[in-house]
A and B are shown apart, each in its own frame.
Chain A
């Protein structure tokens, strides 16, 4: 089967750095997505990793280790607006062209002043 695990909640301070982890088990792998979802809003795409390593995009970076079934999202210089749920997702059984994503439960990040 497919399974994704993320911590349920995290708290961090404005201006700090926070790392949100995601572990996955899947037969077949074709990349991992990160989405951000503010309360009451739609998820928005943050990043996609298909190769091992770190990809940086402004204050947000995403890391993937395929051998360990592990990814993390790194948020730097935290701002209050970063308070949101962060969702990790993989395509269904590693299909290369599918709209069926399997999502983790999401990590709710609270940024405090």
Chain B
């Protein structure tokens, strides 16, 4: 079974621009969560989508948004980029019934804002 995929893997943007990141979950996984990882803050939850609806949201400004499509693929968007948005953005998918609900992470998108 293919794992979680994320595109692009690397991205360089300028302050003020916006960016869209994509995530394809493991087949059959309907929940997709997004995390931001930085050396100083570690892994921080951004939001979770299930059945095209946002279920949970972390403590990030409204510049961070996301959506999920009917095939469970998800995108996140960051508008008006700031230098502090430079981070590794990870998405994770999970089964929502049975098991321990562990999340499976994609390889991440490394975003650099200059």
| 0 or 1 for each of A31-50: is its CB under 8 Å from B? (1 = yes) | 10101000001111100101
Q: A99 at interface (Cβ–Cβ under 8 A)? A: yes
Contact with A along B8-52 (1 / 0, CB 8 A): 000000000000000000000001110100000011110010100
Chain B interface residue count: which class?
20 to 34
Chain A: interface size category:
20 to 34
- For residue A87, CB closer than 8 A to chain B, the reply is yes
Q: Is the CB of A41 within 8 A of B58?
A: no
Asked whether B92 is an interface residue with its Cβ less than 8 Å from the other chain, the reply is: yes
A-B interface contact total, Cβ < 8 Å: 62
Contacts of B102 in A (CB 8 A): 33, 45, 48
Interface positions of B (Cβ within 8 A of A): 4, 31-33, 35, 42-45, 48, 50, 55-56, 58, 90, 92, 94, 96, 100-108
Q: What are 6 A-B residue pairs whose CB atoms fall within 8 Å in the complex?
A: A33-B100, A42-B106, A87-B42, A97-B96, A105-B42, A106-B42
Taking Cβ atoms with an 8 Å cutoff, the residues of A that contact B are: 31, 33, 35, 41-45, 48, 50, 87, 89, 91-92, 97-106
